[in-house]
Amino acid sequence: MIQLRNSSENSEELVYGDIHELTEIPNEVIGYVRGSKQHFYSYTNLSSSSISIKISFKAKVLLNNYPSLNLENQKLKLKPYQTVLLKEER
């Protein structure tokens, strides 16, 4: 994450962009959106169970602490303790 924030085309938005907590997600998940011109979504599943989250945007995966991510038909399925950073595709 530090490398992505410091030396990527997205660094300006990731460092200085607005940040808002996502509240329409399960309590076991910490989520926020960051950015003004571009939007970056971070989700962290803090439970020992898989959790599904409906998203309303097409996404590109920037970071994932698992080898794969189940993201189909605008439905994100997070494995236990999985963290992902998604960039909204426009």
Position 6 scores a pLDDT of 73
Residue 52 lies in domain: 2-88
Position 19 scores a pLDDT of 95
pTM for the structure as a whole:
0.90
Residue ranges of the chain with per-residue pLDDT less than 70 = 1, 7
2-7: long-range contacts, CB 8 A cutoff, minimum separation 24 = 4/62, 4/63, 4/85
* CA dist list (Å): 15 to 40, 41, 53, 62, 63: 11, 14, 25, 15, 16
Question: What's the CA gap between 39 and 75, in Å, rounded?
Answer: 18
**φ and ψ of 67, to 5 deg:** -65, -25
Position 53 scores a pLDDT of 96
Give the number of domains in the chain: 1
Percent of the chain whose predicted confidence (pLDDT) is above 70: 97
Q: CATH number for the domain including 6?
A: 2.60.40.1180
